[in-house]
Structure 1
Amino acid sequence: MGDPKRQRKKFDSPRFPWQMDTLEAELKILGEYGLRNKREIWRHKTLLSNYRGIGRSLLGQSVDERETQEKQLLGRLNRLGILHEESELDDVLDLTLEDILDRRLQTLVYRRGLSQSMQQARQLIAHGHISIDGQKVSAPSYLVLREEEDKIEYSPKSPLTDPDHPITRATSIPAEPMLPENEEENKNE
């Protein structure tokens, strides 16, 4: 049967975890994206760091040496929807944590209007109510590919497919956009 593989950490923890500005920034991201703990932030920061490190090493090589690896890296980031098709290698270095967090299934479920909040999106995914192209996905941190983005829906066997379900009714009611005070005054005039 062979030896089992050793489980390794998929993230690097911060060097100075108790700095106030780091704590505040991480706490803001936790609330904004509905993450469970800071380990999820660190996992995505490590992924971003790996992509940026590959980009830096490729920029140090000559154009002939890096051509195929550059196409592979840009192709991968394009398939994930993090970069556009016409992006260049310099754009990899400009990526931020929010670019990766915006591609999480949890974020896309909320942005598509299938849930009322990020926390509810996480719960719907964990309970098996969300599918991608008919395949149930139960990981909120799943990075959705660009081609899968339009195929996010309620699972076929989920009770949420019923239009009379309270959650479905609540999310299908279009909310009126909030206008700043200046625009409201201009409309009344």
Structure 2
Amino acid sequence: MVRKLKYHEQKLLKKVDFITWKVDNAAKENVILRRYHIRKREDYTKYNKLSRSIRELAEKIAKLDKTDPFKVEATVRLLEKLHSLGLAKDKLDLETASRISASSFCRRRLPVIMVKQKLSENIKGATDLIEHGHVRVGPEMVKDPAFLVSRNLEDFVTWVDGSAIRKHVMEYNNLRDDFDL
């Protein structure tokens, strides 16, 4: 037994079509936002758009004729670029490019790389350290946790010179120099 709808409820339901209800991925999106500690939802939508365009590009390249020399060149260039960004683990075929997702981009964010290199215990702590200005990539201090780290820059993630955390780590490892004081 269902109660009779009130007037304002009927008015609201006139605008909603339950037969062609659009399915959203809010649950999956929220899981990924929590897992990688992404604070801006816009970053995740950008990653989705980028991964979709990469997959579309891979499909267009795959549709080209096998004897076309441009297909070989485009495939090599795309796979090399994806590998250098760290989005693809291998450079074998276009199948790897078609598996690129938003999570691939999330795994290349600076906090995740910091956890992977054991500079932080968890992604939330790494995000806080980045926002407070304790981390640099190469010579530049980075305050944006959405910074994507390529394979080349992965080795250059370290603490800022004047960071209290760097001093603490150096003191713990008995590597702190009196000249730095």
Instruction: Give TM-score, length-normalised by structure 2.
Output: 0.73
Structure 1's 131 and 17: CA in aligned 2 closer, same or farther, altered over 3 A?
farther
Matched, 1:62 2:65: yes
Match of 1:115 in 2: 120
Match of 1:37 in 2: 40
Deviation at 1:142, TM superposition (A): 1.5
Deviation at 1:50, TM superposition (A): 1.2
Deviation at 1:90, TM superposition (A): 1.7
Match of 2:95 in 1: 90
Q: 2 CA distance for matches of 1:59 and 1:86?
A: 15
Match of 2:7 in 1: none
CA contact (8 A) 2:90 2:96 kept: no
Match of 2:8 in 1: none
Q: 2 CA distance for matches of 1:158 and 1:19?
A: 47
CA contact (8 A) 1:106 1:121 kept: yes
RMSD: 2.5
SS at match of 1:146: coil
Superposed, 1:173-188 pairs within 5 Å as none
Q: 2 CA distance for matches of 1:17 and 1:39?
A: 24
Q: 2 CA distance for matches of 1:156 and 1:52?
A: 41
Deviation at 1:132, TM superposition (A): 1.5
Deviation at 1:119, TM superposition (A): 2.0
Instruction: Give TM-score, length-normalised by structure 1.
Output: 0.71
Q: 2 CA distance for matches of 1:110 and 1:33?
A: 11
Structure showing greater Rg: 2
Aligned length: 151
After the TM superposition, which parts of structure 1 deviate over 3 Å for at least 4 consecutive aligned residues? 16-20
Gaps of 5+ in 2: 1-19, 173-181
SS at match of 2:119: coil
Deviation at 1:70, TM superposition (A): 1.5
Matched, 1:102 2:107: yes
Deviation at 1:138, TM superposition (A): 2.1
Q: 2 CA distance for matches of 1:130 and 1:151?
A: 10
Structure 1's 129 and 74: CA in aligned 2 closer, same or farther, altered over 3 A?
same
Gaps of 5+ in 1: 1-15, 170-189
